Structure 1
């Protein structure tokens, strides 16, 4: 199963970054290209099983279910239910860890997914560069 991975160091304490990122429903606040995000049943955005509907460029739709939230480990993971990409069975994870000698945050974003053999390499690169790296860059700017 392919994995797409990106990481960044943010100039803010890990606990502050995690307090912001743990909100599964705030993606439109920080992710470039995301127009709106709604939790489909209107429930809290930190409830395991909630589904966020993400509207991106040109009306593209992603639907993602929060599969786990670990405050002690500063991470959450989610399953992609619907995407305008040729991927299947995608599980994404976002994790924040402290860089202890500088009081910064190390943020990782990755997913494991399935795709047809001819699509695997392109999808790994698309997720890494067009989604995760762009999102992490926006977070770097947000946290100065």
Structure 2
């Protein structure tokens, strides 16, 4: 099983950062490569099992399922149901933690997956991390 990871430190508090990140249907508000999101079932996208259908800026479509939403632990986990990515069995967790000395927040985005046939783990990881970096940069523009 391969892994991808990206992280960033925010000046906004962990609670302020989490309030944005926990919105499973809110990715178009901060990810520059996602232009639309629609939830199917799951109480406005906040209930385990909810499916979000994302439309990329290039017209690509992603179907993702909310696996867990833990407000006390500030963790959101989801899995890819269908996407034009070189991965299989993708499962990801976004985790927001407080930064004690600044009052800010630390956000980590960690995924496990198997590379699709014909793709190396390094190639698949590079594709995923190339999506995480601008997403977290976009998040900085709305909460820092």
Relative to the length of structure 2, the TM-score reads: 0.94
Asked if the contact 1:60/1:84 (under 8 Å) is kept, the reply is yes
Aligned-pair distance for 1:54? Answer: 0.4
The number of residue pairs the alignment matches comes to 143
Q: SS where residue 107 of structure 1 aligns?
A: strand
Q: SS where residue 84 of structure 2 aligns?
A: coil
Aligned-pair distance for 1:20? Answer: 1.5
Aligned-pair distance for 1:107? Answer: 0.4
Q: 2:51: which partner in 1?
A: 51
Q: SS where residue 35 of structure 1 aligns?
A: strand
1:13-32 correspondence to structure 2 within 5 Å? 13-32=13-32
Q: 1:83: which partner in 2?
A: 83
What residue ranges of structure 1 are gaps of 5+ in the alignment? none
Q: 1:39: which partner in 2?
A: 39
Asked if the contact 2:2/2:112 (under 8 Å) is kept, the reply is yes
Q: 2:120: which partner in 1?
A: 119
Tell me how large the CA RMSD over aligned residues is.
1.3
Q: SS where residue 101 of structure 1 aligns?
A: coil
Asked if the contact 2:10/2:104 (under 8 Å) is kept, the reply is yes
Q: 2:129: which partner in 1?
A: 128
Counterparts of 1:84 and 1:3 in 2: how far apart (Å)?
Answer: 18
Asked if the contact 2:16/2:143 (under 8 Å) is kept, the reply is no
Counterparts of 1:67 and 1:36 in 2: how far apart (Å)?
Answer: 20
Q: 2:8: which partner in 1?
A: 8
Relative to the length of structure 1, the TM-score reads: 0.94
Counterparts of 1:95 and 1:72 in 2: how far apart (Å)?
Answer: 11
What residue ranges of structure 2 are gaps of 5+ in the alignment? none
Counterparts of 2:118 and 2:103 in 1: how far apart (Å)?
Answer: 42
